[in-house]
Amino acid sequence: MQDVENIVNGQKLFLKPEYQEVFKNKIPFEGHAGAVNPAKVVEVANWTTTWEYREKNLAREHITINPAKACQPLGAVMAALGFENTMPYVHGSHGCVAYFRSYFTRHFKEPTPCVSDSMSESAAVFGGLANMKEGLRNCKALYKPDMIAVSTTCMAEVIGDDLNAFVLGARAEAEGELDGTPIPAAHTPSFVGSHITGYDNMMNAILQELNPVEEGVEVVKDSERINIIPGFEPYLGSLKEVKKMAAMFSDKIVMLGDHEEQWNTPAGEYKLYAGGTPIEVAKKASTAGTTISLQKYSTVATAKMIKGSWKQNYATCNPIGLGGTDAFVMKLSELTGKPVPKELTLLRGQLVDAMQDSYPYMHGKKFAIWGDPDFLLGVVSFLVEMGAVPTHILCNNAPRKHWEKEMKDILEKCTFKEECNIWAGKDLWHLRSLLFTEPVDFMIGNVYGKELYRDTKIPLIRIGFPIFDRHHLHRYSISGYEGGLNLLTWITNAVLDALDEETKDIAKTDFFFDCVR
Amino acid sequence: MTTETLLSQHEAVIAEVLEAYPEKAKKSRAKHLGVDTPEGVKGACDATKSNKQTVPGVMSQRGCAYAGSKGVVWGPIKDMIHISHGPIGCGQYSRAGRRNYYIGTTGVDTYVTMNFSTDYNEKDIVFGGDKKLKAALAEIDGLFPLNNGISIQSECPIGLIGDDIQAVAKAYKKESGKPTVAVSCEGFRGVSQSLGHHIANDMIRDEVLPDNSYKKDFESTPYDVAIIGDYNIGGDAWSSRILLEEMGLRVIAQWSGDTTYKELTMAPKAKINLLHCYRSMNYVVRHMEQEFGVPWMEYNFFGPTKTTESLRKIAAFFDESIQAKTEAVIAKYTEMTDKVIAKYKPKLAGKTVMLYVGGLRPRHVIGAYEDLGMEVIGTGYEFGHGDDYKRTKEELARTTLIYDDVNEYELEHFVKKLKPDLVASGVKEKYVFQKMGLPFRQMHSWDYSGPYHGYDAFAIFAKDMDLAMNSPVWAHTKAPWESN
């Protein structure tokens, strides 16, 4: 029973003897192997760690287990929230929107605005036009957005709703209430690609809606203007740092899809919308001389549109790690015609200094890492720069073209390149087998690595998306020189924490439990 | 304030909220909002429309049928593998978020926090995915030999593209000899997660309850009960079970938190089914009553007053020996909960709460707050039906704002006007209200604490409410240089 002077929640309550008794009493009624044949559980648990199981597991084709990816509309919601006073609007069932909002909110610990038009059986039969007509008007009336960014769920895609016609129809019947409100619409079927594809499709739709290309009308270019598209970036600090770096070169560099403030509003009052690229600024995107994407594989369709339709200079950079940031800085220098500011050279020097201070702890250490394609290219580069071994690089949503080749090029520079493996299209249950058969020292990844940590005891360094069980990491940058310093700090200190763990046994290992490392 | 003034004040707030809507939506929403009082007159609990289509284009907090089936009813069954059948998202967003606690070796003999997905691609949509599903079932059995069955939880496209998952499941069941249950809980069905509960219940009725394989060796006692509609969030079912056992009953099945397939099949052997979450499992207890003659009884284990009341009600179904033991249990725990109340009530008395949750909690937790001297001034259901609202009337202690399927716009407005001291709702709402400087507790996940069912759990509930209400952090919002 609870001791009122020391009330404990479930964590310790269920360790009390009377609850252990409850667990014991329940067993005879249960039918799982742990209840009827615990020895079998041990036997099978051991079998799952073997090479034999690994082969069987890697041969799996039809069931995905513990994936490291999500679906398109999630990314569409992030893209939409990068624009000022914009409401993401999901044409489909409201259950999807409940999921997107919870998912982002659990990661950012912030509210996530997004509406749906609550399609149901009748919409499945008759199509979702009626929902959209009413939904867009209600959305505008209640939440007063300056732009409504429409994406779709798989339901709307399967029944084949004609999105653009629906938006036109809804606008025509809205008695003027939707006049002057841009309503970009993107097809974001969940059964194609992943969340980064949805980001791409929504970004593409928004930019096209705000920058209509008219036949025979020449857009007056401002060659000094540069657009930066961040991509599906869960690190708000990265957005901030990229903007800071860009501002050191020019005040004519704008971020398209800047969701930094939306998920970082102060206490005091609740505001539905915060920050974001002003729509007036986004409307001039096509006039820029160049657009730089910071996530090549999250902006494939957008890139095609910018190059083809806007006829704009297009570049990709990946400012994660030292080399990636250097390339980004040089690109900005090249495009603006300005020398690299002293401040950036100083920051670079400080990062390199820190890398040289800490390298012994990362050198030769083996890592397993998973995440989105561009994130992996960036963080793996950094691991290679530090002399670490990216033993298992797993990308569940690996793009079919080019990505693997790019990763191989990065690994070419790795001192231990023969030990590195790229696992495209594999999931985290595959990784479990890889970790048991070819173990590593550390894992880098999202919250779903937690169960891998429990099962394999390999420490998890939380870098990625989503992270639900640690707070505030998303506020930091992983991009730029300061982002590099954060990566270095997190990884090095995780290595040192593990070292302390391994050396803390009194009179056994604690001779190595040093106060100075 | 008199009842009349409160009543007219609340009605004015509703009228204000409705002003923002276009005509059609206004008319629809007006039927879902109202005021009720404990007195005899018929109020919003009788009149409120519920279980209706959500108005399109608003930020509803509702989920879908898949969420009701996979997320609520089937997902917690620990020794079965539940496939999220369709595209990748649904299974990922609902993975390991509900805190359905269980004991087992995850990935070996239990699987609750894992995500199994058939990860549909365009080809599966165009050509159908039945073959893929069949192959997926075989792969699962190859890699997880200790699973005691597989359920297939349909996502939206399945029912739209005409896949015949029932046929696949039937064939596979025959081939493998293992329970294989196809649940057509596509997200677009119905208006909320509620229809998903119903569909899930029906599949337990059709595919699980007829299985007699474990029943023949079962030795009944006169004191066998089953806990139905407890999802063991944060361990709720465990802190409930202990009380039932201490009063001399034998809990033979626990649905569906920390449950096994075998326990599911055994519930018809109970002398009585004890139903906590009425909304999500009333269908199957009604069925068990008709089919197997098992009576059922609702109970409420939130807060000592309701827990004691419920224990006595349950004991009354049994003999005097049980009733005597029950009184001893009540006496033993009341001593502790009295101390909890003495400790926390002075810090919480008179504070007001607005609730917005689902299932049973919009009415069931009112008593727990009252035990701490707190008043619930507004409550509503995400996916309730008329019978839920009727049951709510009995719990009201004062004039209360009633809101059905309330969306973010409305709830924000109501909170700003009614100014509660605490808001208790879900994760999507949490940070909205915390930003306003309002203490908030998540009442779906117990805000990563709990359990909240039973006497021991009430101590945690009281401690958590005190933590939320009396934390120094709420006093920091204004900078010292800002005027009030």
Cα pseudo-dihedral A26, A31, A34, A36, rounded to 10: 100
Residue with tokens 């659990």: A106
Q: Where residue B265 falls among pLDDT bands split at 50, 70, 90?
A: very high
Candidates B53, B156, B247, partner chain A, best to mutate (most A CBs within 10 A): B156
Q: Which residues contact A153 (CB under 8 A, 6 or more apart)?
A: A73, A90, A91, A92, A93, A96, A116, A119, A188, A190, B156
Look at B245 and A22 and tell me if their CB atoms are within 8 Å.
Answer: yes
Give A143-172 pLDDT, tens digit per residue: 999 999 999 999 999 999 999 999 999 999
Both tokens assigned to A446: 């999202």
Both tokens assigned to B303: 């807060």
Q: Where residue A456 falls among pLDDT bands split at 50, 70, 90?
A: very high
Q: How far is CA B319 from the centre of its chain?
A: 31
Look at A63 and B116 and tell me if their CB atoms are within 8 Å.
Answer: yes
Has residue A113 got a pLDDT over 90? yes
B64 is an active site residue: yes
- The residue among A257 and B39 whose pLDDT is bigger is A257
Report how far residue A159's alpha carbon sits from residue A145's, in angstroms, rounded to the nearest whole number. Answer: 28
% of chain B beyond a pLDDT of 90: 96
pLDDT of B4 = 77
Reported ipTM: the value is 0.98
- Reported as half-sphere exposure (CB side, CA atoms, 13 A), residue A317 has a value of 26
Report how far residue B75's alpha carbon sits from residue B409's, in angstroms, rounded to the nearest whole number. Answer: 31
Count each helix (H run) and each strand (E run) in chain B, helices first: 21, 14
Both tokens assigned to A324: 């990636």
pLDDT of B41 = 81
265-284 of A, contacting B, C-beta below 8 A:
265-270
Give A290-324 pLDDT, tens digit per residue: 999 999 999 999 999 999 999 999 999 999 999 99
Residues of A assigned a catalytic role: 154, 158
B409 closest CB neighbour out of A33, A118, A143: A143
Residue with tokens 């206004």: B26
Q: Which amino acid is at B235?
A: G
Residue with tokens 């919870």: A102
Look at B88 and A113 and tell me if their CB atoms are within 8 Å.
Answer: no
Has residue A342 got a pLDDT over 70? yes
From the candidates B44, B45, B64, B468, give the one annotated as an active-site residue: B64
- B457, closest residue in chain A (CA to CA): A9
pLDDT of B78 = 98
What 3 state SS string does A494-509 have?
HHHHHHHHHCCCCCCC
- Reported as half-sphere exposure (CB side, CA atoms, 13 A), residue B337 has a value of 22
A270 closest CB neighbour out of B133, B140, B432: B432
Give B304-331 pLDDT, tens digit per residue: 999 999 999 999 999 999 999 999 999 9
- Do residues B404 and B334 touch, judged by C-beta distance below 8 A? no
- Do residues B62 and B382 touch, judged by C-beta distance below 8 A? yes
Give A35-53 pLDDT, tens digit per residue: 999 999 999 999 999 999 9
Cα pseudo-dihedral B196, B201, B207, B208, rounded to 10: 130
Q: Which residues of B touch A57 (CB under 8 A)?
A: 143
Report how far residue B124's alpha carbon sits from residue B425's, in angstroms, rounded to the nearest whole number. Answer: 38
pLDDT of B484 = 61
The size of chain B, in residues, is 484
Whole-structure pTM value: 0.98
- A144, closest residue in chain B (CA to CA): B20
Give A245-256 pLDDT, tens digit per residue: 999 999 999 999
DSSP letter at B100?
B
Report how far residue A291's alpha carbon sits from residue A276's, in angstroms, rounded to the nearest whole number. Answer: 18
Has residue B40 got a pLDDT over 80? no
Q: For residue A7, give the 3-state DSSP assignment.
A: coil
Report how far residue A465's alpha carbon sits from residue A233's, in angstroms, rounded to the nearest whole number. Answer: 9
pLDDT of A405 = 98
Give B165-197 pLDDT, tens digit per residue: 999 999 999 999 999 999 999 999 999 999 999
pLDDT of B12 = 96
Query: Is A1 at the interface with chain B, CB within 8 A?
Result: yes
B98 is an active site residue: yes
Q: Which of A159, A161, A158, A138 is nearest to A148 (CA)?
A: A138
- Reported as half-sphere exposure (CB side, CA atoms, 13 A), residue B314 has a value of 38
pLDDT of A107 = 98
Q: What is the mean pLDDT of residues A401-410?
A: 97
pLDDT of A87 = 98
Give A262-272 pLDDT, tens digit per residue: 999 999 999 99
Q: Is B180 exposed, middle or buried (0-12, 13-18, 19+ CB in 10 A)?
A: buried
Nearest Cα of chain B lies from the Cα of A208 at a distance, in angstroms, of 23
Nearest Cα of chain B lies from the Cα of A54 at a distance, in angstroms, of 10
Q: Which residues of A touch B234 (CB under 8 A)?
A: 9-10
Residue with tokens 């007053």: B305
Find the DSSP H helices in B296-451. 304-316, 320-348, 361-364, 366-371, 386-393, 408-418, 427-435
Q: Where residue B1 falls among pLDDT bands split at 50, 70, 90?
A: low
- A35, closest residue in chain B (CA to CA): B104
